[in-house]
Amino acid sequence: MAQRRDSMENLHPANIRPISYYDQRPTSYHDQRPPRVIDPSFRLSAFAGRIGGNQQFTISRQDPEFYQIKRDRPDATTEGTWAELCDLRGLLKMEIWKSGFIEFWGSLLNAFASGAAGISLAKYGYLSSHRNNYSPITIATAGALSILFTLPLFIHAAGPASGGHINSMITIATFTAKLAALPRVIVYVFMQNLGGVVGGFLLRAGLGESATLGVIVPGCYWAPDTGITDGQAFVIEFASCCIVLFIAFGVGLDPRQRDIFGPALGPMLIGLAIAIISFITGIMRQGYTGASVEDEAYRYTPVAMNPSRCLGIVSATQTFRGHWVTWAGAIAAACLNGLLYILVPPHHAGPPPKDEELADCKQI
């Protein structure tokens, strides 16, 4: 019996099971199974910088339209060149703006939820003779738990549509590591900041100006009379962002972790990492992000690690002092992480080329 062919042109024979981009790559470097067909309806969603995707949702060389897709959407693969990634014509693609809207909505809700939690916790972070007094460890623990239980949910919810960044630092870091195109970064960062600002003012509208103006939100402000300099704050922010990016890329973007963590567990581990860093930086120094000599209030609060979220919160509370450190630390960490990722890519420890493998076998 003659072998049946797929009705669509330029596709592989139908004896290769048609699937979406969920499993278009071999499960291991040594897997020699024939290439599988990629459902064209899913090609628009391919994105190498998807958090938790571990580069599974990308277009591989096995795709018959690989080079055309790489020219049109260079971050649909991990092999895009800088010239292709920086092509601003991608700003005209509606798919990127649709994904950017998901980032806007997720950032809005995240800013509202985290801002509400931060303002609520800050009210109890006083070391004074007030009756409702809680220790810094209690406040830091509550803040860390709020991150641990909410952030992975936001990543999971936005992941299928946009990649689940919800953070300008993550978006910039994927670009410096050549996993995201510049047009996507521009759209995402703009929409993330816009969502953060709208979320902050939505919180202000709900609580009222008297309850938000001048309020110190954990992680987004430190008072000038605590002895913390801008340089010290930058070092703390930079180091904390480097830790988060190292873990996020290791568990959420490294293709070798695909079968270990995968799309489900990766975001949870990222949320756990940020929660731990938030707890540690929240108790490491008295008055780190807020103190008032008038009411003798000292607050222990963590670093930001999310500049778009903080932009929305400080816009609503009008506490802009030192906000540049939040952006400077995140961008510097993203650039360093991208440099290390390019110099020592995930595949550097992969198996030897096929000809070397054959040579080794002959020696044996």
pLDDT (tens digit per residue) in 22-62: 344 444 444 444 444 445 555 667 888 888 888 888 887 77
State both tokens at 241.
């962002």
Q: What is the pLDDT of residues 215-248, one digit of tens each?
A: 777 777 766 666 677 788 888 889 999 999 999 9
Sorted by where each starts, the structural domains of the chain and their CATH numbers stand as 90-343 (1.20.1080.10)
* DSSP string of 296-362, one letter each residue: TEE------S-HHHHHHHHHHHT--TTHHHHHHHHHHHHHHHHHHHHHS-GGGGSPPPHHHHHHHHH
d(CA 329, CA 257): 28
- How large a percentage of the chain has pLDDT more than 70? 72
d(CA 240, CA 238): 5
Collapsed DSSP state (helix, strand, coil) of residue 16: coil
4: pLDDT strictly greater than 60? no
DSSP 291: E
173: pLDDT strictly greater than 70? yes
Distance of CA 38 to the CA centre of its chain: 26
Buried/exposed code over 36-71 (b: 16+ C-beta within 10 A; e: otherwise):
bbbeeeebbbbbbbbbbbbbbbbbbebbeebeebbe
Residue, of 351 and 100, whose pLDDT is higher: 100
State both tokens at 225.
């009379």
Q: Which range (16-20, 278-282, 330-334) has the least confidence?
A: 16-20
State both tokens at 1.
């019996």
Q: What distance, in Å, lies between the first and last C-alpha atoms of the chain?
A: 43
Residues 6+ apart with CB under 8 A from 59: 21, 24, 38, 43, 46, 66, 69, 70, 76, 77
236 CB-contact burial (10 Å; exposed 0-12 / middle 13-18 / buried 19+): buried
